[in-house]
Amino acid sequence: MINYPVEVLLILIEAMKDKDINGKFINWLIQNWPELGAFVNSIKGDEKALKWLGNNNFIELVAIHDALFEEENKAFKWLKDNSYYSALLISSIKDDKQASEWLHNNCKILYLLAESMQNYKEEFEKEEKSIAKFFSKLHNPFS
């Protein structure tokens, strides 16, 4: 992840936000850095984009995606063994204060990306709980 130009990572950060009206930033990424466009789409739940990343050998991006959402630590272990900065990114997202502080002091762009991804993940989880609560009330209207 660290090998991308800072300007491109700034666009990636903006693409992660819900404020990306009409997908302007995602579309730019798809046209210029298709793997990053696919990465954003995979984070936002597009299974085809995730499969495309794997089929096109963007293993680090697949591992970041999987480490973000999985309960097991296989992808995170792979990142620790193969991509130190991406492992710090995931650690920061998962509330590791030392990782966040280190990124904040030493690699601000990844710190900002971690914040953006964490905000998206929290919103996703909040929405998921809301949907689950709605369906549970459908099955038991007296709860």
**Position 43 in a domain:** yes
Answer positive or negative: Cα dihedral of 108, 77, 118, 40. Answer: positive
Q: What share of the chain is helix, strand, coil (3-state, %, to 5)?
A: 80, 0, 20
**Position 86 in a domain:** yes
What are the φ/ψ torsions at residue 44 (nearest 5 degrees)? -85, 10
What are the φ/ψ torsions at residue 75 (nearest 5 degrees)? -65, -40
Rounded CA gap, 53 and 62, in Å?
Answer: 6
Average pLDDT, the chain: 88
**Position 1 in a domain:** no
* pLDDT(137) > 60: no
What is the count of structural domains for the chain? 1
* pLDDT(85) > 90: yes
Report pTM.
0.84
Boundaries of domain holding 49: 6-139
**Position 34 in a domain:** yes
